[in-house]
Amino acid sequence: MSLLRLAWRNVLRQRRRTALLSLVVVYVSVAVLFLFGFLDGYGESLVEAYGQYVEAPVVVAQALWWEDRDPEHGLRVMPSLTYPLIQAMSPRLSLYALLRSPYHVQGGVVLGVKPEEEKALSRVPSKVKEGRWLSGPGEVVLGYRLAQRLDVRLGERLVVETGQGALGLEVVGLVQAGVGNVDFAGVYVHLEDARRLSGREILATHLALKVPRGQEARVAQKLNENLPQGFLAKDVWELMGPIRADYEGSRLFYLPLLALFMLLAAVAVVSTVYVSVRERLREFAIVESLGLAPIHVAAQVALEAALAAALGLMAGLLLGYALLWYTSTHDVFGPLMRLSVELLPEAGLSEHLYTALRPIYALYASLVVVLSALLALLFPGRLVLRLDPSHYLRGE
């Protein structure tokens, strides 16, 4: 305890130096908190977009369909799925089609759904901007940006063609979900219409399941242990495709960068402490001559570095969490995300991004204090251990 008091007294005695040391740690702490919050928030935004709008939390299909999404590999018999965490389940039938309005022609993916069951599974039905959601065969709901491209309006007819059939469907609703895949490419029809367009005797191409948030991987794993041979369940992370690799690549890039920031901050703290120790060698020599062991003096130096870093850490945590709170409750990144959605409309990005706010970030940021103390023992502390008190006491 006496060493701690001595270290604290020396930290307060050198207030200007302590303030400069703390500023470095404040900067790094805020950077660590914000970057972790941003990356986790981005990941949660992707899970939300793919789990609630683009795909589903868990999808079950034949293994052949996962390799080649031809309706030929669709479901002719529905597998029996029972698991306590399944909250909702509905068949879907997706197929490539040509969308033909009186003015434009465009290719796309048509998703056949059961309208009422889809309401329990997806948030798309609740995001209808104009008109209404599907109520029966002969209708189509479009993403509002796709409708603009095709130049079709409510009440007009849209011809959907596949290699196996064609249907003229009435546009009854336009969806604005704030998710690129839905707004720019969403085409929703009744499951019966999708079956006719497929031209095959299939019931659906896959089964979409709703499960509690955070349980997607666990449910998919448990289902795979009991599914009939030839079937495969995938969770939302597996459904993301290339965007998942982009997200994981970002984490792999930024985590070593953050580690380097923390190391540089600790080096900045220790280098300043080293200079301070060199200026105070005579003081340490007197202290040792009074009976304090060299190892205790070295520990006092490490404590001084840790205390200076801890002061910066506390200020950094206050600033960092205040910044995370604000960006987790306000759509600060909305303009940036809307631009990203315009540039990459089929990436599954959401127009809104809120940072995550988790207590564990404080533990990550505190590593800079640990690094500072360890480096202080290695360098300034080593200088104290090699000190020859008689040399300084003689005034040489």
Residues 352, 178 contacting (CB under 8 angstroms): yes
pLDDT tens digit sequence for 201-251: 899 999 999 999 889 999 999 999 988 888 999 999 999 888 888 888 887
What average pLDDT does range 124-138 have in this prediction?
94
For the chain, what is the mean pLDDT? 86
Question: Which has the higher per-residue pLDDT, 274 or 148?
Answer: 148
Q: Is it the case that residue 82 has pLDDT exceeding 90?
A: no
Cα 166 to its chain centre, rounded Å, is 41
Residue 60 is encoded by which pair of tokens? 């079950």
Question: Which has the higher per-residue pLDDT, 242 or 90?
Answer: 90
Determine the pLDDT at residue 175: 96
Cα 389 to its chain centre, rounded Å, is 56
CA atoms within 13 A on the CB side of 178: 16
Q: Is it the case that residue 314 has pLDDT exceeding 80?
A: yes
Please state the length of the chain.
Answer: 396
pLDDT tens digit sequence for 172-201: 999 999 998 999 999 999 999 999 999 888
What sign has the CA pseudo-torsion 2, 285, 309, 23?
A: positive
Question: 50: Cβ–Cβ under 8 A, 6 or more apart, which residues?
Answer: 236, 239, 240, 348
Which pLDDT band, with edges at 50, 70 and 90, does 262 fall under? confident
Residue 263 is encoded by which pair of tokens? 């190391």
Residues 225, 82 contacting (CB under 8 angstroms): no
